Amino acid sequence: MGRGKFITLEGVDGAGKSTHLNCLAELVRQRGHEVVLTREPGGTRLGEELRTLLLGEPMHIDTEILLMFAARREHLAQVIFPALAAGKWVISDRFTDATFAYQGGGRQVALDRIGTLEKWVQGDFQPDLTLVFHVSVEIAEQRRAGRSGGDRFEQLDKAFFERVSTQYLSRAAADPGRMRIIDASRSVTDIQKELEIIILSI
Ligand code: TMP
C-alpha cells in the first residue's frame, strides 16, 4: 500500500473552510481512501489541551509560537505520520501555513524564526495539497460576527486579518504546486464543484 496524502485547509477566520471539510472528506472517500479528519492547534489529547490555552490565555508571542509547534510535533507523531504510513489520507483544518500567516503575517514575527522551528519539527515534510480559502477581510468579518463566542484570535482587528490574508496569498503565490487559492466568496455549491475537480486531479 502506498503512503496516503496530506491535505490542509487554510484561510482567515470566517473564510468558510470548515464548511467544506466534510464535503472534502467525502470526495476523498469516494476515491476509495480512508480519511482521517483532524485540526490544529489540536488533533491529540495534549494538542487539544494546548489549544484551550492558546485560544484562551494571553501569552508572550514566543510562547504562542512554541506551543503551536509543540502541539504540531505531537500531532505529527501521534496522528499524521502513522495515518499516512498506513495509506490513509489526512485532512487537517490548518497546519504550519497558519503559523506563518498568523504569527508571521498577523503578529509580525520574523518569518525565518518560524522557518527554524518548522525545520526542527517537521524537517522537509510538507502537505501534498493546501487549499487557501480566500475572501475579503470585510466578508470574513461579517461571517465571524454571525458566530457566538470567538477566541483570542477572532477578536483581533481588521489590520491584523489583512496581514494574515496577505501572508497566505504571498505563500500561495510562491508555492503554486502545493497551494491553491479557493475564491470562497462564491456559493457553497460552486466551491464544492471546484473541490471535486481538485481532488480528482491529485
Ligand atoms: P480555527 O478557529 O480555524 O480552528 O483556528 C484556531 C485559531 O488559531 C485561528 O484563529 C487561527 C489560530 N492559529 C494560529 O494563530 N497559528 C497556528 O499555527 C494555527 C494552527 C492556528
DSSP line for 28-79: HHHTT--EEEEESS-SSHHHHHHHHHHHHS---HHHHHHHHHHHHHHHIIII
Can you give the pLDDT at residue 163?
Answer: 98
Question: For residues 84 and 54, what is the distance between their CA atoms, to the nearest angstrom?
Answer: 27
Q: What confidence score (pLDDT) does residue 171 get?
A: 98
**CATH architecture of structural domain 6-201:** 3-Layer(aba) Sandwich (3.40)
- Please tell me the predicted confidence (pLDDT) of residue 154: 87
Give the DSSP H or E segment for 23. Answer: helix 17-30
Q: Which residues of the chain have pLDDT under 50?
A: none
- Residue closest to 36 by CA, chosen among 97, 96, 82, 94: 82
pLDDT tens digits, 57-93: 999 999 999 999 999 999 999 999 999 999 999 999 9
- In whole angstroms, what is the distance from residue 120 CA to residue 26 CA? 33
CB 94 less than 6 A from any atom of ligand 1: yes
Domain ranges of the chain: 6-201
Task: Confirm or reject: Cβ of 41 under 6 Å from ligand 1.
Answer: yes
pLDDT of 198: 97
Confidence (pLDDT) at 199: 95
Ligand 1 centre distance from Cα of residue 94 (Å): 7
Retrieve residue 43's grid coordinates.
488533533
**Ligand 1 near 6 CB (within 6 A):** no
Indicate whether residue 40 lines ligand 1 (CB < 6 A): yes
Q: Encode pLDDT of 155-170 as tens digits.
A: 899 999 999 999 999 9
The whole-number pLDDT of residue 132 equals: 98
Give the pLDDT confidence score for residue 159 in this predicted structure: 96
How many A from CA of 65 to the centre of ligand 1? 11
Q: What integer pLDDT is reported at residue 147 of this predicted model?
A: 82
Residue 74 CA to residue 46 CA, distance in Å, equals 8
Backbone angles phi, psi at 201, to 5 degrees: -90, -10
Model pLDDT, residue 146: 81
Do residues 18 and 101 lie in contact, with contact meaning Cβ atoms separated by under 8 Å?
A: no
- pLDDT score at 150: 80
